[in-house]
Structure 1
Amino acid sequence: MEFFMSMELRHLRYFVAVAETGNLSRAAEKLFIAQPPLSVQIRQLEEEMGTALFVRHPKGVRLTAAGESLLPEARYLLDRAARMKESVTGSASGGHLALGFVPSASSTVLPKLVRHLKKEHPALHIELREMISSEQAEAVAAGHLDAGIARSKPHHPRLTVAAQMPDPFCLALTPQQARRAGNPVELRSFAEHDFVAFTRHRGPAYFDQSIYLCAKAGFSPRIRYEASTVHGVLDLVGAGLGVALVPSSCALLGAAGVSFCRLRAPAASEVLVLLRRKTDSNPLLPALADAVRASFADLQQRMAEKLGC
């Protein structure tokens, strides 16, 4: 407790500046202070930590192992302090929401959702961050986000689902292929076709689910092309380079030259959800959950009208 009372945010701010510049003189210029007081502040922080954070050398300084460990924590605490100020300021002026979203939701969920929230709360400050589902869960649990629109239910004990809708995978293919396939489509009948897939490191949930569905149908997909976004995958399908397994909500993206067919045996676990912490005092979260539920209901109705062959 004594450590936290004696250490101030300026110590961390000075430490980060020195670490990023690698030089006390340049850090002092960046901070608009003289070098001697900066050196004193760094020594005070090292004394509080009980270890050296920098190694001095003729051209400047470099981080010790302890300094390397402290740097991400210091950045996190400074970011949290800044967000705390934004939150207080936002609460006084109309509120603040930090919302994560999967890439496909930027076209299907966010436009109507943001318009609704801004209409109901004109002074609301909305911070939007595009992230894959696993990153969102970590960010919401850690307090970096207030909520997230993700494609998997959370396993973290601090998180809960505030809204959800089924979004089963379907098959994206050309209109000519769709006319021959029937509706719903038997995925096994496409075992000899080329597939377009999501790049695994950018969309692991999409990639893994596609592999799972094909394996369930009795074959391993022949993946010839990959793309890192939903729009990129659909562009390759529209060019006739292969078929792809994508969430049904993608049928609402208006991709040129692409049709969508339901699968005969979709997986029941494929959902779009709103994640939030189980205990959170942000007064805007109930309104967000209501708006997302309304958006999900609208999406489901539009998907039912659009999806088919």
Structure 2
Amino acid sequence: MMELRHLRYFCAVAEEQNLTRAAEKLFIAQPPLTRQIKQLEESIGAQLFLRHPRGLTLTPAGYFFWDQAKQILAKTEAAIENTRHLAEHGKATFKIGFVPSVFYGQLPSLVRQLRKKTNADIILIDLKTGEQIEALNTGEIDVGFGRLSIPNETVEQTILFQEPLLAALPVSHPLALCQPTMADLAKVPMILYPENKSATPTFADICLSLFVSRGLTVNVTQRVNDLQTALGLVASEMGFTLVSEQVKRLSRDDVVFTPLQDKSITSPVIFSRRRGPLDPITAMTIDILDTLVKNRVD
């Protein structure tokens, strides 16, 4: 019978690709670990590793099982953490992943209403959209708000609305007095956010694609991790950046948020949740969102 320890053993071997190092990491002897891995393969009915003189490599089935095993272990840890929190504080947790560019619109109103209508601790976690999909699969968050559609068989994504993009420019810049075209902006140094070190697309990729799709070359001079840093660089007259319309609520006196000439340039706000039956708080979240989106003021 497969147990959680078998999954932990398997993941350690998959990570190390060496039984000796994996055994040291797990603080067990190598022979019992070897037997456990063999028993796991027999139980599943598939070869998970290819044995080599100096180590192991995963088979295609092994790679698939590794991904599934990591998700199971992460979900288990999340379940334990949430159960412990409920026992200690008398209330559940509801974790919301979000990208910073959606924080200035409907999200604060949603959080306020959830806090009033539930007994849960509402926790906000800053995550890129791709990170949200992974966190939903592992149970680290309950719902997410992002800007990218990333197909995943266990996650359902819904576009709440399309939001116009604005150019954030220094107050002294000539383009701040008009509605610039993308060709106008391509002549100005650009600041991109968030910085992306993974293969998963981000808001920065959306912004770049707007120029590429129009045959324009843009001069990216700075890549930063977050919106606030990008706006700080704009205020320092280092260049411009693109932002969602709701960001104009920041009301900075050193940055102008100007509409683009092409009003069709928008970015979606996307709600993500795990597929399957709705828990009560997620169901309430969807009801609140429906009202907030219908009453949205641009």
Q: Would you say same fold, with TM above 0.5?
A: yes
Partner residue in 2 for 1:148 = 144
Gapped regions of structure 2 (runs ≥ 5): none
* Kept in 2: contact 1:133–1:150 (CA 8 A): yes
1:235 corresponds to which of 219, 232, 238 = 232
Partners of 1:174 and 1:297 lie apart in 2 by 33
Say whether 1:101 aligns with 2:98: yes
* Kept in 2: contact 1:19–1:62 (CA 8 A): no
Quickly say closer, same or farther: Cα 1:95–1:294, change in 2 above 3 A. Answer: farther
Q: Tell me the secondary structure at the aligned position of residue 265 of structure 1.
A: coil
Say whether 1:80 aligns with 2:75: yes
Instruction: Kindly provide the amino acid, as one letter, of the partner of residue 234 in structure 1.
Output: L
* Kept in 1: contact 2:104–2:246 (CA 8 A): no
Scaled by the length of structure 1, the TM-score of the pair is: 0.70
Partners of 2:217 and 2:223 lie apart in 1 by 16
Scaled by the length of structure 2, the TM-score of the pair is: 0.72
Partners of 1:147 and 1:86 lie apart in 2 by 17
* CA-CA distance at 1:14 after TM superposition: 4.0
* CA-CA distance at 1:19 after TM superposition: 6.5
Partner residue in 1 for 2:191 = 196
Partner residue in 2 for 1:48 = 43
Partners of 2:107 and 2:176 lie apart in 1 by 34
Partners of 2:15 and 2:75 lie apart in 1 by 19
* Kept in 2: contact 1:238–1:255 (CA 8 A): no
Partners of 1:25 and 1:217 lie apart in 2 by 55
Say whether 1:27 aligns with 2:26: yes
Write out aligned runs for 1:116-155 (5 A). 116-122=113-119, 124-126=120-122, 128-137=124-133, 140=136, 145-153=141-149
Partner residue in 2 for 1:206 = 203
Stretch deviating more after TM superposition (140-149 or 236-245):
140-149
Quickly say closer, same or farther: Cα 1:80–1:62, change in 2 above 3 A. Answer: farther
* Kept in 2: contact 1:169–1:245 (CA 8 A): yes
Say whether 1:65 aligns with 2:58: yes
Partner residue in 2 for 1:307 = none
* CA-CA distance at 1:172 after TM superposition: 0.5
Deviations 1:215-264 (A, max 9, x none): 57674323222223222221111110112222112222355621100112
* Kept in 1: contact 2:170–2:176 (CA 8 A): no
Partner residue in 1 for 2:7 = 12
Superposition RMSD on alpha carbons, in Å?
Answer: 4.2
* CA-CA distance at 1:289 after TM superposition: 1.9
Q: Tell me the secondary structure at the aligned position of residue 270 of structure 1.
A: strand
Partner residue in 1 for 2:277 = 280
Quickly say closer, same or farther: Cα 1:296–1:254, change in 2 above 3 A. Answer: farther
Instruction: Kindly provide the amino acid, as one letter, of the partner of residue 76 in structure 1.
Output: Q
Partners of 2:13 and 2:182 lie apart in 1 by 57
Partners of 1:18 and 1:147 lie apart in 2 by 32
Partners of 2:181 and 2:34 lie apart in 1 by 70
Gapped regions of structure 1 (runs ≥ 5): 1-5, 305-309
Partners of 1:40 and 1:205 lie apart in 2 by 43
Q: Work out the number of aligned pairs and report it.
A: 286
Partner residue in 2 for 1:164 = 160
* Kept in 2: contact 1:100–1:131 (CA 8 A): yes
Quickly say closer, same or farther: Cα 1:276–1:242, change in 2 above 3 A. Answer: same
Quickly say closer, same or farther: Cα 1:46–1:153, change in 2 above 3 A. Answer: closer
